[in-house]
Chain A
Amino acid sequence: GQNIDQPTEMTATEGAIVQINCTYQTSGFNGLFWYQQHAGEAPTFLSYNVLDGLEEKGRFSSFLSRSKGYSYLLLKELQMKDSASYLCAVLDSNYQLIWGAGTKLIIKP
């Protein structure tokens, strides 16, 4: 079966750094996405990785290791507005998105 695992909830302090991990087992792999979703809103695109390595985009970076079936999203200089759920999703061999359950990130002052 297809499976994506990420922690249910994480807490971090404003200004700090947090790493959200995601492991996956899917039928085929055409890339991994990270989305941010605020409560009551649709997901918004953060990053897409299809090759191994680190992709940096401002305060957010995403890493992928295909051999390990592993990715992480790194958030730096945390701000209160970063409080949201972060969804890991893998594009399988049929180009369908397989979603993780999401990680709720709580930022404390």
Chain B
Amino acid sequence: GAVVSQHPSWVICKSGTSVKIECRSLDFQATTMFWYRQFPKQSLMLMATSNEGSKATYEQGVEKDKFLINHASLTLSTLTVTSAHPEDSSFYICSAREAEGSYEQYFGPGTRLTVT
């Protein structure tokens, strides 16, 4: 089946630094990748949708200059949290969709970010 990996699985960083999270589709080409954030005891919140080779579409309330998304290839998307603050501490999950109009999203295992 379709496998999506994320790296790192967890990261601790100091306030003011930047952190990059990678999302890779291992055995398929992902035309679209999604980035979610999940705070404790809350549901998934879509942050942005990225299509290979084009700019990401950010959801309302998500700062595009703070959460930089790059989808440079059909198998890799990155999310960079710039100038991280403690309130950015969360569980970040990516998912990938194989083709336009395809209904299924395949989820990565998530990245736990803690900003101290």
Contact = CB atoms under 8 A, between A and B. Distances in A.
Contacts of B104: 45, 48
A100 B110 contact: no
Chain B interface SS verdict (over half): loop
Contacts of B34: 97
Contacts of B105: 97
Interface residues on B, range: 20 to 34
A99 B103 contact: no
Contacts, number: 41
Interface in A71-101: 87, 91, 95-97, 99-101
B28 interface: no
Interface residues on A, range: 10 to 19
Interface of B: 34, 42-46, 49, 91, 93, 97, 100-105, 107-110, 112
Interface of A: 30-31, 40-45, 48, 50, 87, 91, 95-97, 99-102
